[in-house]
Structure 1
Amino acid sequence: MITAFILLSIFFTVFSAPDFSQTLPATVNQGEWHLLHASIGISAMHMQLLWNNKVVIFDRTDFGPSNLSLPPHLCRHDPRDHALQTDCTAHSLLYCVDTNTFRPLKVQTDTWCSSGSVLPNGTLTQTGGFNDGDHVLRMFTPCDDYSCDWVEFPGYLSQRRWYASNQILPDGRIIIVGGRRQFNYEFYPRSSRGSNLYTLDFLRETRDAHENNLYPFLHLLPDGNLFIFANTRSISLDYKRNRVVQEFPPITGGEPRNYPSSGSSVMLPINETQAIEAEVLVCGGAPPGAVSQALRGNFVSASLTCGRLKVTDENPNWVMEEMPVARVMGDMLLLPTGDVIIINGARLGAAGWEYGRSPVTNPVIYLPFGDVNRRFLVMSGSIRPRMYHSSAVLLPDGRILVGGSNPHVYYNFTNVLYPTDLSLEAYSPPYTSPAFSSLRPHILSLDENLLYGQSFSIVFNVCEYTNDRVLSANIVAPSFTTHTVAMNQRMVVLRVESVMQEVGNTYRLSVVGPSTPEIAPPGYYMLFVVHSGIPSHGSWVKIH
C-alpha cells in the first residue's frame, strides 16, 4: 500500500488530482542517514551542485589552517589575511557525487558569507565575502579532469558584498542584492551603458536596530519581476526600471526571518499544467532581540511558524501554519516530488558565533498541497548537530547532501558545546526506499537540450505503471546554499502532452519545455520523472 507520504505527494501531477477519501496508513517511512566522510578537511559553509555531478564546497580563508592540504605549489600568500599570511591548506574543494571522492581547490581571497549563481553555460559565478574578498568576483567552470579551479577577479564588484543574495535572471544576467550596510543592487555582467549600481531604499527601511536584514530572500516571479523579502516585509521589484511594483503585507506575527534571525524560504513549484501562480513559503526564524538575549546567555525559542504568500493573487495575504518544532538556521529545499524538506538548525537562539542552542536533528518534510492538518512529517534524525554555518543541497539521485556546522570564530573541536564539524553525510528521503522500486521510473533517453515552448520526448521504464494521473515531469534548478538561503532554487512542473506505452514496461512522454525564460531562466536543470510520488534519478538538461 502506498504510504501517506507518497499519496500526498501525488498532488504534483499533470492531470486531475486523485481521490483522497480513502483512509491513509498511520505510519510513514522516515528516511535514512548515511555518513559519506568523517572529515573532508573543511567545514561546508557554502555548497553548489554543478551539471557534471560535482559539488563545489567552501568555507572562509581568514580563520587559520583547515584540515585539508594544498599541493605545495598552490600555497596561498596573502599579507592582508587576519590569521595566516602563508597558508598551505585548502578552504575549498570539489566533491564528486558519483565516486564519493574529493580534491582540494585553491581560493585566494576571503569567501566568508558570500553568495553565488550558476550562469547559463554552467559556470559558477561567486560574489563577495569579507576582508580582501568583499569586492571579488570568482568563477569556477566545470571540467572532466583535474584542471579546473577558481579564477578570481579582484575589485570587480562596485560595492562590498558581504551577506548579499544572488538570483539568475531571464536574460542570463545575475542580480546581486544587498549585503551589510548595502542598500542597493548590481548586476553581473556589468552594463555596458551607464551605472551598474542601483539604490533600493526598501533594504534601508527593513534593517533592524543592528542594521541587519542580511541575505534577503530572492525569488524570480513568473512576470519577470523580483520578489524580495527582508526581515518581515516583502516587495515585487522591477529591476529593469528600478521601481517597486508592489509591496506586500508584512508577514503575520512580526518575527524577523533573515540573518541573524535566519529562517528560510522557497518559491513553491510553478505548474505549467494550469494557470500560472507564484507562491512563496517562509519558515522559521527568531524573534526580535534574539541575538541580544543570546549575548546575555538567554537563548529564546525560535519561530514555530511558516507563512505562505500567493504573490499572484489580486490581494495577497499571508497564511500561517505551525511546524512540529521551532527552528532557526534551517535549510529549506525543494524535493523532486514538489514537497519541501526543512533540515539542520536549532530550537533556541539565533545565527552567529555561539548564539544557538538545542539542535534540531530531525528533518521535516512539508507537503504543500496535503491536508492542512497533516502537512508536516517528522523524519529520522542525524546524530550530528548542524548549527551555524551548515548547508545542504539536493542531489540528482534525490538524496540531500549535508555538511558544515562551525559556530566558532576558528575551527574548534574540543571543550565546546558544538565542535566544528568537518563531516559530510547524506539524508535519503522516504521515496528512495527500495520498497518503492517497482514504482520508481528510470529514464532511458531524453533530449538534453530543451527549447522554450517546444515539445521533447522522455523514454522511461517502470515495473508497475499505475496510471497517467500520477505522472509528472519536473525540472529543478540546483541551489547555491549558505546561511539557510538556497539561492536560485526553482522547480517547474512541465506540461505533458501524451503518454504512450512502447514495449513492455517502457513508456514515452511527450513534454513541452518551459514556456518562457521568466518561468525557467536559461541554464542547467535536473529533470525528474515522478510516478506515484516516486521520482526517477535526475537527468541533466540544458534550457536555451
Structure 2
Amino acid sequence: MTYRPSRRLRKIAIGSTAVSVLAGMNAPALYGWTTSTYHDYKIEQPEYKAAYGHWEQLDVPRKYRINAIHAALLHTGKVLLIAGSGNDETNFGAKSFKSVLWDPVKNTFKEIDTPKDMFCAGHTQLPDGRLLVAGGTARYEKLKEAVDRAGGAMLIKNENPDAPRTFPQGTVFVNNENGRTFRSEFPVTVPRAKKTTDRRTGKVTVTASEVRVFVQSLVKGEAGIVNTAAQYGIRGLEGRDRDNLYGLATKLGLDKKDFQGIKEAYEFDPVAERYIPVDPMNEARWYPTLVTLADGRVLSVSGLDDIGQVVPGKNEIYDPRTRTWSYTTTRYFPTYPALFLMQGEKIFYSGANAGYGPADQGRVPGLWDLRTNRFTPVAGLRDPGDLETAASVLLAPAQDQKVMVLGGGGVGESRSSTARTAVVDLNAVRPAYTDGPDLPEPTRYLNSVLLPDDTVFTTGGSRDYRGRGGSDILTAQIYDPVRNVFKDAADPAVGRDYHAEALLLPDGRVAVFGSNPLYGDAADTTPGFFEQRVEIYTPPYLYRDSKPSLGEGPRSVERGGSMTFPTRYADHIDTARLIRPSAVTHATDTEQRSIALDIARGKGSVRLTVPQDPSLVPPGWYMVVVTDEEGTPSAARWVKVS
C-alpha cells in the first residue's frame, strides 16, 4: 500500500528539519521516507493518542481468518463473526460455511460449526441473550453472459385436499406442449389443497395449494428456452397424482439470475456456543433486516426471495417463546433497510439501505406504525437519491429520539456519492431532516459506532461503488452531537468498503472487520480480495490519566427498576448509559442504542434507574457504562433487562 500522510501530519512533516536539510538530494523518495518515519513516530506519542486515539492490528492466527460479513457482540463479551460462504462461490459449492467466535479479553478464537450459508443473512439480539440469525444464500447470482441454462420460477400446484406432497431437489418437470424439461434446484413441500363446504348448499369446493420453486433446463443454451406460459407434468407421478400435482410457469429464459435467499433460521446460544435451528421463515430472504420489537418479538422485512426478487412487502414476526414465524403488516422496502424501534412502538425507516430494489419504490424515509400500517414520510433530506450504502444511527441518548444518516450513494452501481449528513428529531411535531456537518468527502459504506460518551465514531468507506478507482477512504472522525461537528480521529491503515463492519467492545474500544472491494488497484484492472485483517481503535478517552469504574452489581433488572453498583467515583460520575450490543452488517446496525439512566449518588455507590418504556428499552442484555465529567467511560457491566 502506498503511504498517504495523515491530514493532520502533512504540514508538520513538510516543514520538518529532516526534509529541509536533505532537500537537495532525491527529494520525492526522501520525502516519502521521512514523512512515513515521522508519522510512525508521531502516532505513538502520548499527546497524539490523547487527542486522536490510536489504531492497532489484531494478531489473528491464519486458521481463524475469515471473510467477516456479519459481526455481533454477545453478552458473554465475545464477538461472533459470520462469513458463511464469504462471498466466495467456490466455498458455496463446497458447502464450506464458517463462523468464528473471538474473545477480545483473552484474544482467543474458536471455530463454530455453521450449518447453512448465512452469507448476507439478517440478525438481531433476543431477550434471553441469544442471537437470531435468519436467511442467507441459496444460490449465487449469474450475470446474463454467464447464464447457460434457461430457468426461472415455477409454481407447483396440489389439488389433493387429503395429503401434502414433498418433492426433492432434482425433481423433473416436463412441458405438456413441447416436452422441454426442467429440474428443481431445491426441495419443496406443497401443502394439501384447501377444501370448503357451503353450509347452505352442501357444495364442496377444492382450492389448490401452491408453492414456488426455482427450476433450470436440463439442456444448455437456447434450446431450453420457453417464452410462453405453460403447464408442466411431474416426471414419475402416476394415476390421480399426475392430475392433482403439476407445475405452472411463464417465461423460462436465459436472463440474469440474481442471488436467492433461504428460509432457514437459527438461534446462536452464546453459552453453549452453537447454532440451534428454529422454525424457518415463511419467506426466503437474502439481505433482510431484523429488528427486535418492544415485546421481544422480531420483525423481519425485505430480502431477495427464492427466485431472486425483492420480497414484495411480505413481512413477518418471530416469537422467541414459540420459535415460530407469522405474517404481519405488508409494506415494501429495498434490501437491508435501516429500521429503528422508536417510542410508541413505531418503526423509523431512515431511508438508508444496502441495494436491490427499484429506484422509485420503498426509498422514502418515514415513520411506520405496524399496528395500523400507516406510513408517515419524513422530508428535508438533501441528496435523497444517495441513500444506498448510507449509514444510520439512533443518536444517544435514545430518549432524544434523533436519528442520523451519513453519506451514501446512488442506486445500484451508480458512481454517485454524497458527503451529506442529516439528523431528524422524531419528538418534533412535524419531524423533518435537517443538515448536519458534511463528511470530509463523499462516502459510501461508512461504519458508524455509538460511543459511551454519546459521540459517534465513523470510519472507512469509499467514494465509489465497492471502492472502485482505489477510492477507499483512510480517515476516521468523531461526531459530537452537542456541538454538531466532526472531530478528527487517527487514520486507519486498512481500507474498508463493502462487507465491512464495526462495533463497540465492552472496554470502550471499537473493532473493525472485513471489506470486499471490487478491484485490487486504482486502475480497476485486477480483481479485489477480501480484507481479513482486523483493526482495533482505542478512542482518546481511554488515554486519560484516570477513569471511573463500577464494582460487581446485579445481573438483571426490570424496566422501571433500579440497580446499585459500588464505586469509588460516585461524586465524579456524570452520566450512566444502557448500551445495547451491536449486530451489524452492510453498514446497517439496527441494534445500536444508548439509553440514559437516572443516577442517584450515594457514599461509595450509585443507584441507576432504567426507563419503563419497552419501546425505548426492548428486553435483552445491555452494557451498563458510566462516564465522569470529562466523558471518560468505565468498562461495561452486563445486565439483563426484562
Distance (Å, rounded) in 2 between the aligned partners of 1:478 and 1:543:
13
Match in the other structure for 1:8: none
Q: Does 1:235 align with 2:366?
A: yes
Q: Secondary structure at the match of 1:431?
A: helix
Aligned residue in 2 for 1:320: 435
Shift of 1:115: 1.1
Tell which has more relative contact order, 1 or 2 (C-alpha 8 A, sep 6+): 1
Matched, 1:431 2:534: no
8 A Cα contact 1:330 1:344, kept in partner = yes
Partner of 1:446: 553
Give ranges in structure 2 of 5+ residues lacking alignment: 1-46, 140-260, 305-309, 353-362
Query: For the residues of structure 2 that align with 1:249 and 1:408, how far apart are their CA atoms?
Result: 33
**1:493 is the counterpart of 2:596:** yes
- Match among 36, 42, 56 for residue 80 of structure 2: 56
The alpha-carbon deviation at position 62 of structure 1 amounts to: 6.8
Q: What is the Cα deviation at residue 82 of structure 1?
A: 4.8
Give the TM-score taking structure 2 as reference length.
0.66
SS of alignment partner, residue 473 of structure 1: strand
CA deviations over 1:442-462 (Å, ceiling 9, x no partner)? 111322211111222122224
**1:210 paired residue number:** none
Given that 2:267 and 2:275 are in contact with CA atoms closer than 8 Å, whether structure 1 keeps it comes out as yes
One-letter code aligned to 2:553? L
**Change in CA separation of 1:199 and 1:529 when aligned onto 2, cut-off 3 Å:** closer
For residues 381 and 330 of structure 2, what CA distance do their matches in structure 1 show?
20
The structural deviation recorded for 1:473 is: 0.8
SS in 2 for 1:443: coil
The structure-2 alpha-carbon separation of the partners of 1:484 and 1:62, relative to structure 1 and needing over 3 Å to count, comes to closer
Distance, in Å, in 1 between the alignment partners of 2:459 and 2:426 is 25
The question of whether the paired residues in 2 share the 8 Å contact of 1:361 and 1:385 is answered with yes
Match of 2:326 among 186, 196, 199: 196
Q: Distance in 2 between matches of 1:60 and 1:416?
A: 25
Residue 632 of structure 2 is aligned to residue 534 of structure 1: yes
2:342 alignment partner AA? L
Q: Residues of 2 paired with 1:384 and 1:237: CA distance? A: 38
**Residue deviations 1:218-275 (CA, integer Å, cap 9, x gap):** 1111211111233552222222x24115222252332332xxx20110111236xxxx
1:218 aligns with 2:349: no
Cα separation, 1, equivalents of 2:112 and 2:460: 26
Q: State the secondary structure of the residue aligned to 1:442.
A: coil
Residue in structure 1 matched with residue 621 of structure 2 by the alignment: 524
The answer to whether the 8 Å contact 1:445/1:460 transfers is no
Q: Counterpart of 1:78?
A: none
| Partners of 1:112 and 1:519 in 2: CA distance | 30
| 1:368 aligned partner | 481
Please name the residue that 2:464 is paired with. 349
Call closer, same or farther: CA 1:387–1:418 in 2, change over 3 Å: farther
**C-alpha distance 119-262 of structure 1, shift in aligned 2 (>3 A):** same
Equivalent residues of 2:79, 2:102 under 8 A apart: yes
Instruction: For 2:526 and 2:632, locate their aligned partners in 1 and report how far apart those are by CA, in whole Å.
Output: 41
Displacement, 1:495? 1.1
Matches within 5 A, 1:3-22: none
Partner amino acid, structure 1, of 2:94:
L
Corresponding position: 1:311 with 2:418:
no
SS at match of 2:344: coil
Matches within 5 A, 1:127-526: 127-131=134-138, 134-143=262-271, 148-153=273-278, 156-180=280-304, 181-182=310-311, 183-189=313-319, 196-198=326-328, 200-203=330-333, 213-231=334-352, 232-239=363-370, 241-249=371-379, 251-257=381-387, 261-270=388-397, 276-286=399-409, 288=410, 291-292=413-414, 299-300=415-416, 302-321=417-436, 322-346=438-462, 348-351=463-466, 355=468, 357-370=470-483, 372=484, 375-407=485-517, 416=526, 418-433=528-543, 436-438=544-546, 440-462=547-569, 471-496=574-599, 498-500=600-602, 502=603, 507-526=604-623
2:29 paired with 1:29: no
Cα pair distance change 1:195/1:424, threshold 3 Å: closer
For residue 526 of structure 1, report the CA deviation from its aligned partner.
Answer: 0.5
Q: Is the 8 A contact 2:444 2:497 kept in 1?
A: no
Report the Cα offset of residue 95 of structure 1.
0.6
Q: Aligned match of 1:99 in 106, 130, 141?
A: 106
Indicate the SS of the match to 2:365. Answer: strand
Deviations 1:71-112 (A, max 9, x none): xxxxxxxxxx85225x4xx51111111110101112121112
Match of 2:71 among 47, 65, 77: 47
Does structure 2 retain, via aligned residues, the 8 Å contact 1:303–1:326? yes
- 8 A contact 1:356–1:387 mirrored in 2: no
Measured against aligned partners, the alpha-carbon deviations of 1:124-143 in whole angstroms (never above 9, x if no partner) come to: 11011111762110121012
Determine the C-alpha separation between the residues in 2 that align with 1:524 and 1:531: 23
The share of aligned pairs that are identical, in percent, is 25
CA distance 1:415–1:202, shift in 2 (3 Å)? closer
CA distance in 1, matches of 2:380, 2:471: 29
Q: 2:126–2:320: 8 Å Cα contact kept in structure 1? A: no
Distance in 2 (alpha carbons) for counterparts of 1:168 and 1:289: 27
Whole-Å separation in 1 of the counterparts to 2:339 and 2:500: 20
Match of 1:13 in 2: none
- Please provide the CA RMSD for this pair: 2.9
Query: Relative to 1, partners in 2 of residues 1:416 and 1:367: Cα closer, same or farther, differing over 3 Å?
Result: same
Letter of the structure 2 residue corresponding to residue 34 of structure 1: E
Q: Tell whether the 8 Å contact from 2:518 to 2:527 is kept in structure 1 after alignment.
A: no
- Classify the secondary structure of the residue corresponding to 1:113: coil
Q: Look up the match of 1:73.
A: none
Taking the aligned partners of 2:49 and 2:517, their CA distance within structure 1 comes to 36
> What is residue 36 of structure 2 aligned with on the other side?
none
Q: Which region of structure 1 is more displaced relative to structure 2, 119-128 or 513-522? A: 513-522
Out of 83, 97, 101, the residue aligned to residue 93 of structure 2 is 83
Structure 1 unaligned regions, length at least 5: 1-24, 67-80, 204-212, 293-298
TM-score, normalisation: structure 1: 0.77
Rounded to whole Å, the distance in 1 between the matches of 2:473 and 2:508 is 22
State how far apart, in whole Å, the 1-side matches of 2:498 and 2:269 are. Answer: 28
Q: Secondary structure at the residue paired with 1:471?
A: strand
Equivalent residue letter for 1:137: A
Which one-letter code corresponds to 2:404 in the other structure?
A: L
Change (3 A) 1:93 1:409: farther
Distance in structure 2 (CA, Å) of the matches to 1:252 and 1:483: 22
Q: 1:100 to 1:235 in 2, by over 3 A?
A: same
Equivalent in the alignment of 1:72: none
The 3 A distance-change label for structure 1 pair 417 and 408 is closer
Conservation of the 8 A alpha-carbon contact between 2:303 and 2:336: yes
Conserved 8 A contact 1:115-1:480:
no
For the residues of structure 1 that align with 2:87 and 2:431, how far apart are their CA atoms? 45
Classify the secondary structure of the residue corresponding to 1:359: coil
Judge conservation of contact 1:264–1:331 (CA < 8 Å) in 2: yes
